């Protein structure tokens, strides 16, 4: 068993400003441009039993610099939400080997650890209490577009669909139970 | 016009009883696997995404049923047909 502690003291978690995104990450103190927050977690090999057993986190896994491996995030970086708006995006993912001077490491040793696998790099100064927002990239953008298109379609046919679901055909009762929908 | 009915059917694969559609004497053999529903459930973080999943399943169902019937069938037409017990060929 591994004990993992997110020791970065610069952030806190609160309801996100992004609609329907759940919780988000915020700056506890001003964070200067050029800083970074390491994406801490565990590496699992794509397609391995560990990858399958962490399927619950598939929407949150990050690519790694190591070919064929992904990061299952377990710290604050995993709480950073996505935005398409470049004006409010304040971090971006970079796969870098974090090169930190020894003096800085000693100063921050109880706050931040550096392994240099992947980080969120701060693109601008972030004031205290501002939400940290990144961009998950092309795949996520596509997923969001897909969702919006389908949700639009759902709204047009909701009454008939609900009527159809009530017939209890095929595995629809399981669908209604596992993925319940609120009537519009 | 053909008869359209809901009948109970024992699915050997899942070893469970399902309520299924018959048009004439032909079974409309369709289903959505429990594992696929579980996968979709993990994607659902919001009401928006849940509705999107439902819309996606609806599209898939209607696409398959329309292929089965040999023509496009809307959900509204299907619901009315099931109520009346008959559907246009």
Per the structure, the complete domain to which residue B80 belongs is given by 2-87
pTM for the whole structure? 0.60
Query: CA of B79, closest CA in chain A: separation in Å?
Result: 7
Task: Identify from A145, A174, A175, A177 which residue to disrupt to test chain B contact, counting B C-beta atoms within 10 A and taking the largest count.
Answer: A175
ipTM above 0.90? yes
With an 8 Å Cβ cutoff, is B50 touching chain A?
A: yes
Each residue's pLDDT tens digit, A145-175: 777 788 888 888 999 999 999 999 998 998 8
What is residue B5's predicted lDDT score, i.e. its pLDDT?
96
Nearest chain B residue to A175, by CA: B37
Percent of chain B with pLDDT over 70: 94
Q: What is the rounded CA–CA span in Å between residue B67 and residue A43?
A: 44
CA angle B50–B43–A159, rounded 5-degree value: 10
Q: What is the rounded CA–CA span in Å between residue A153 and residue A21?
A: 21
Q: Do residues A18 and A133 lie in contact, with contact meaning Cβ atoms separated by under 8 Å?
A: yes
What is residue A141's predicted lDDT score, i.e. its pLDDT?
65
What is residue A7's predicted lDDT score, i.e. its pLDDT?
83
Residues 6+ apart with CB under 8 A from A165: A172, A175, A176
DSSP per residue over B10-43, as a string? EETTTTEEEEEEEETTEE------HHHHHHHHHH
CA-CA-CA-CA torsion sign (B72, B74, B79, B81): negative
Q: Average pLDDT in the A22-40 region? A: 92
Of B32, B52, B82, the CB nearest to A170: B32
Three-state SS at A41:
strand
What is the CA A31 to chain-centroid distance, rounded? Answer: 20
Residue A106's pLDDT band, with cuts at 50, 70 and 90, is: low
- Mean pLDDT check: name the lowest of A76-80, A104-108, B19-23: A104-108
Nearest chain A residue to B51, by CA: A151
What is residue A88's predicted lDDT score, i.e. its pLDDT?
94
pLDDT of B14 > 70? The answer is: yes
What is the CA A149 to chain-centroid distance, rounded? Answer: 22
Q: Average pLDDT in the B46-74 region? A: 90
- The enclosing H or E element of B87 equals strand B86-87
What value does the mean pLDDT of chain B take?
89
What is residue B82's predicted lDDT score, i.e. its pLDDT?
97
With an 8 Å Cβ cutoff, is B64 touching chain A?
A: no
Query: Considering its fold, how many domains does chain B have in total?
Result: 1
CB atoms within 10 A of CB B56: 17
Of A164, A170, A175, the CB nearest to B75: A164
Task: Identify from B58, B60, B62 which residue to disrupt to test chain A contact, counting A C-beta atoms within 10 A and taking the largest count.
Answer: B58
């Amino acid at each position: 068993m591994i004990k993992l502690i997110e020791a970065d003291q610069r952030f806190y978690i609160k309801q996100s400003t992004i609609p329907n995104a759940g919780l988000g990450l915020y700056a506890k103190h001003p964070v200067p441009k050029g800083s970074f927050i390491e994406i801490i977690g565990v590496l699992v090999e794509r397609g391995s039993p560990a990858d399958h057993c962490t399927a619950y986190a598939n929407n949150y896994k990050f690519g790694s610099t190591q070919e064929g491996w992904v990061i299952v995030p377990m710290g604050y970086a995993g709480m950073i939400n996505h935005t398409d708006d470049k004006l409010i995006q304040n971090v971006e993912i970079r796969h870098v080997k974090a090169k930190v001077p020894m003096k800085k490491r000693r100063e921050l040793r109880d706050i931040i650890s550096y392994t240099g696998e992947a980080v969120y790099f701060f693109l601008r100064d972030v004031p205290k209490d501002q939400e940290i927002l990144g961009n998950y990239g092309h795949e996520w953008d596509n997923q969001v577009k897909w969702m919006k298109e389908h949700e639009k379609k759902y709204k047009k046919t909701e009454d008939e669909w609900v009527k159809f679901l009530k017939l209890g055909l095929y595995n629809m009762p399981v669908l209604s139970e596992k993925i319940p929908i609120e009537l519009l | 016009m053909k008869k359209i009915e809901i009948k109970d059917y024992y699915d050997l694969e899942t070893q469970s009883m399902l309520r299924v559609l018959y048009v004439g004497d032909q079974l409309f053999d369709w289903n959505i696997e429990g594992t696929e529903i579980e996968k979709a459930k993990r994607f659902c973080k919001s009401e928006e995404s849940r509705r999107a999943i439902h819309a996606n399943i609806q599209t898939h169902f209607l696409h398959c049923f329309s292929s089965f019937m040999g023509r496009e069938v809307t959900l509204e037409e299907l619901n009315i047909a099931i109520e009346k017990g008959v559907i246009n060929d």
